[in-house]
Structure 1
Amino acid sequence: MSEPLFKRKGALKVAMVAGEASGDLLAAHLMDALQARHADIEFAGIGGPRMEARGFTSMVPQEKLAVRGYAEVLRSLPELLRIRRNLREQLQAEKPDVFIGVDAPDFNLALETALKKQGIATIHYVSPSVWAWRLERIYKIGRAVNRVLCLFPMEPALYQQAKVRADFVGHPLASEIPMQPDQLAMREQLGLPRQGPVFTLMPGSRKSELEFMAPLYIEAARLLLRDYPDATFLVPLATRATMDLFDRMLTQHKAWDLPLRKLFGHAQMAMIASDVVLVTSGTATLEVALTKRPMVISYKLSWLTYLLVKRKIKLPYVGLPNILCGRFVVPELLQKDATAPKLAAEVKRLYEDKDARAEVLQTFGDLHQSLLADTAALAATAVLQEAGCQPQPA
C-alpha cells in the first residue's frame, strides 16, 4: 500500500475522480462550496490543477485519464486499469465518507460500483449522455451510485423512471459567465484591436484530440486569412502538454507565419473576444454557447472508433448546444465533412451573416437562462447529505 491519501484524523474524507479539464473545473467549484460549509474537510483521489490548487491530493496526474475513443483507449487500457485498481484498493482501505465521480463514466462507474458494495456512499456528478445514446445505462448507473447530480433540466425525469435518485443542480458555467459578455472590453483586456475579425480556434483539451483537429484548424486559419488579411486567431490551450503539441503541429505545417496568439488557459476570454469560434465537440461547445458566440462544431475520430460510436448515437447532432436546443442552431462538420475548406467556409458564413448571428444570440440567451442555478451549493448539499453530515430530504 502506498502512502495514505487522507492524512488528517477526524476530517471529513471526500474522495473524487475528475478525468479531464471540464471535470477539474466542476470539482473545484464543488470543493469551494464544501469548504465553505464544513470546517474540516480533506480531498483526495485523481484531479487536475484547479483541484490541486485548493489542496486536493491527486494519486496520479489527471492527464493519465484524458484518453478518448475506443481505439485510443485500447492502447492505454492496461495503464488505466492499473490506475483504477490501485485507487480502488487504496479507497477501500481508507474508507472515505463519500466518493464523487466527476464525469468520466467509463473510468468512474466501475470504481463507484466496487466502493458502493463496500458501503461507501457514491455520487456521480454529471449524468452520462443517456438521452443521446444507450438509455439502458441508467440501470447500471443506479447500481453504481446512491445519487446522480445532473447539469441539464431534462435529465432527472429519465432517472426517476428507473427509480434512480437524481437532482438537477444546474450548470456552473451558467452562473460564471455573464448573460451579456462585453466583447469590446475583453478585446481591450487582451490587447486586441477593437475592429477587425477575431476568430478563436479550440482544437480540444486532450492531446489525442489535438492530433486529429489541430492540423485542420491551422489549415482553416490559413484559408480564412486569405479573405481576412487583418484577422487575429486566438488559440487557448488548457495544459503545457497540449501547448507543446500545438507548437509541434505549427512546425509540421510550416504555420508559424500565421497571426496566431496562443493563450495558456483563458478560454472564456478568447471566446468573448471573438466573432466566431471553431471548436471541437465537447463541453467547450456549451461554454461558447453561454458566451453567446456563433460557432462551428467539428470532430474527427479514428475510423474504427467512429464506426462503433455512430451505430449507438440516437440524435442527429453531437454538439451540446444543438442537443439542448433540439435543433441545428450552429453547424456541425464531422469526420469526412471535417475538412479545412468546409470549416473555413462555415466560419466565413457566420462572420458575414448578421441575421444568423442575431438568431444565435437569442437562442443561446434562452439556453443560458434554462441552466441557471446555484450549482455548487446544490451539489455540496447533496454531498454532505450522502456523507451523513446533513439530514436527507424526506
Structure 2
Amino acid sequence: MTVRIAMVAGETSGDLLASHLIRALRQRIPDAEFFGIGGPKMQAEGFDARWSSELLAVHGYVDALKRYRELSGIRRSLLAQIRKERPAAFIGVDAPDFNLWLEGKTKDAGIPAIHFVSPSIWAWRGGRIKRIARSVSHMLCLFPFEPELYERAGVAVSYVGHPLADVFPLHPDREGTRARLGIGLERRVVAMLPGSRQSEVRNLADNYIDTAQCMLARDPALIFLVPLATRETRTIFEHALRRKQATELPIRMLFGHSVEAMTAADVVLVASGTASLEAALLKRPMVITYRIGAWQYRLMKHMAYLPWVGLPNILCEESLVPELLQDEATPDKLALALEAWLNEPERCAALECRFTELHLTLRQNTAHKAAEAILPYLSGAAP
C-alpha cells in the first residue's frame, strides 16, 4: 500500500526545507506520495502542489488581515481533501499561524500531525505552547534549547539541528570567494545586508548609506558589498543612493549572493533574522540592527522574553555581537561598532572559535534526523 503524506510549506525557506525532507523520506519509502501546499523545490521532488507556497507569503499583520478570507478558504479546502484522502500523516513546515489550526484538525481526525520548525515561543508569545500541545503529535526543533520547553508541556519532540549548518562549510573559503569577486585579500570589506523584504530595505537603506559615509571618512579604502534579493529591493537601494547623492561611494550591489558577500567580508552589518545566523555559520564578526514602525517596535519589545533579538546571541546565551535597534541604530553608532571589529583581530579570532562550536552543535544532518522521527508515525508504531 502506497504511503501518502500531506504537507504545507510556507514561503521560500519552507519550500527548501520541505524538499530536503521529502528526499530523505523517499530514501526510506521510495514509493511515498506527497501532496498539499508547496513550492518549486518540493515539486522538483515529485510533490503534488495543489496550491503554491507563495500564497502563504504574508508580510505583517495588515497584509494577514486583508488576506484572511482567501487563506482561510484555502486552508479549509485542503482540510476537506485531507479528511477525504486520509494520508498517513500531515507535516506542517514552518508557517505556524497557518499550520497549527490545520494540524489540530488533522490530529482530531486521527491523522498524526507533525510540525517542522518550532515557533519562537522562547522569544515571545510563549502562551502558544498550550495550543501547540493540543494541535501537534510531534514537534521537530532546529535549536538545542527548544526540546525542554516542549517536554515540560508534554509534547513529543525531537532536536534535528539546523539545515544551514549542514550546508555551510566549517571553514569558509574566504580567499577563493574574494578571487571570484575580484577583491584583493589586502582590502578591508564590509558586507551590508538590509534584509530581503522591500519594507526592510526601505527602513534601512538610508541608514546603511550614512553608515558607509561615516566609515569612509575615516578609512577611504574600504569596500562595501550590498547583496539584494530581488530587482525591487535593488531599485529601492539605488533610489536611496541617488536621493542622498551617494552614487560615487565604493558600494557594490550584488544580485543575491549574500553568502558570498559575507564570506568575503571582514565584518557584516546585518538586519536581524536568519541572515545573522548565516553570518555566524560563516564565522564573521557582525553588528545586528533593525528598524520597524514605532508602535510595532513597542509592541514587540513589550512581548519579548529575551534580552537579545539576534540568533547568534540567543543561541550562545550572551552578548557576543552588538545589537543596535530602532533609535539606537544611528549611523555614528553603527560605524563605531563595525570599526571596533575591524580594529580588534584577537576579538574576531575568539568569536570565530565560538561560532565554530555553535556550528558543530547545529550540524545534525537535519533532513535525516527529521525523517527518522517521522517514520514511526507513518508505520503506526508511534504512541
TM-score by shorter chain over 0.5:
yes
Which ranges in structure 2 are unaligned for 5 or more consecutive residues? Answer: none
Q: CA deviation at 1:381?
A: 1.7
Aligned equivalents of 2:67 and 2:238: distance in 1? 24
Greater shift, 53-62 or 180-189, is seen at 53-62
Amino acid at match of 1:321: P
Aligned equivalents of 1:276 and 1:336: distance in 2? 22
Matched, 1:20 2:11: yes
Other structure's SS at 1:234 match: strand
Aligned equivalents of 2:71 and 2:6: distance in 1? 18
Match in the other structure for 1:210:
201
Match in the other structure for 2:118:
127
Contact 1:21–1:238 (CA under 8 A) maintained in structure 2: no
| CA pair 78-189 structure 1, distance change in 2 beyond 3 A | same
Q: CA deviation at 1:55?
A: 3.9
Q: 2:42 aligns with which of 51, 56, 60?
A: 51
Aligned equivalents of 2:122 and 2:353: distance in 1? 25
Match in the other structure for 1:290:
281
Q: Deviations over 1:347-369 (max 9, x none)?
A: 22212222321221121122122
Q: Deviations over 1:175-231 (max 9, x none)?
A: 222222221122113332222122222222333323323333233234333334333
Greater shift, 306-315 or 48-57, is seen at 48-57
Matched, 1:159 2:125: no
| CA pair 32-242 structure 1, distance change in 2 beyond 3 A | farther
Q: CA deviation at 1:40?
A: 2.2
Q: Deviations over 1:78-100 (max 9, x none)?
A: 44444434444444444433222
| CA pair 192-94 structure 1, distance change in 2 beyond 3 A | farther
Matched, 1:112 2:103: yes
Q: Deviations over 1:19-40 (max 9, x none)?
A: 2343333223222322322212
Greater shift, 371-380 or 10-19, is seen at 10-19
| CA pair 203-72 structure 1, distance change in 2 beyond 3 A | farther
| CA pair 341-313 structure 1, distance change in 2 beyond 3 A | same
Q: Deviations over 1:213-255 (max 9, x none)?
A: 3333233234333334333322333445544554555555555
Q: 1:233 aligns with which of 204, 213, 224?
A: 224
Match in the other structure for 2:21:
30
Aligned equivalents of 2:303 and 2:37: distance in 1? 29
Q: Deviations over 1:232-280 (max 9, x none)?
A: 3223334455445545555555554343334344332222111111111
Alignment RMSD (CA, Å): 2.7
Amino acid at match of 1:307: R
Residue identity (%): 49
Q: CA deviation at 1:53?
A: 4.0
Matched, 1:382 2:373: yes
Matched, 1:320 2:320: no
Which ranges in structure 1 are unaligned for 5 or more consecutive residues? Answer: 1-9
Aligned equivalents of 1:43 and 1:268: distance in 2? 31
Other structure's SS at 1:387 match: helix
Match in the other structure for 1:361:
352
Q: CA deviation at 1:75?
A: 4.6
Match in the other structure for 1:191:
182
Q: TM-score, normalised by structure 1?
A: 0.86
| CA pair 296-310 structure 1, distance change in 2 beyond 3 A | same
Other structure's SS at 2:196 match: coil
| CA pair 160-287 structure 1, distance change in 2 beyond 3 A | same
Amino acid at match of 1:29: H
Contact 1:279–1:297 (CA under 8 A) maintained in structure 2: yes
Q: 1:266 aligns with which of 248, 254, 257?
A: 257
Aligned equivalents of 2:87 and 2:235: distance in 1? 37
Q: CA deviation at 1:148?
A: 0.3
What count of residue pairs does the alignment treat as equivalent?
383
Amino acid at match of 2:280: A
Q: CA deviation at 1:77?
A: 4.0
Aligned equivalents of 1:253 and 1:111: distance in 2? 48
Match in the other structure for 1:6:
none
Q: 1:139 aligns with which of 118, 127, 130?
A: 130
Greater shift, 247-256 or 148-157, is seen at 247-256
- How is 1:2-21 mapped onto 2 (pairs within 5 angstroms)? 12-21=3-12
Matched, 1:257 2:248: yes
Amino acid at match of 2:370: A
| CA pair 351-251 structure 1, distance change in 2 beyond 3 A | same
Amino acid at match of 1:339: T
Other structure's SS at 1:311 match: helix
Other structure's SS at 2:270 match: strand
Match in the other structure for 1:333:
324
Contact 1:16–1:102 (CA under 8 A) maintained in structure 2: yes
Aligned equivalents of 2:248 and 2:27: distance in 1? 48
Q: TM-score, normalised by structure 2?
A: 0.89
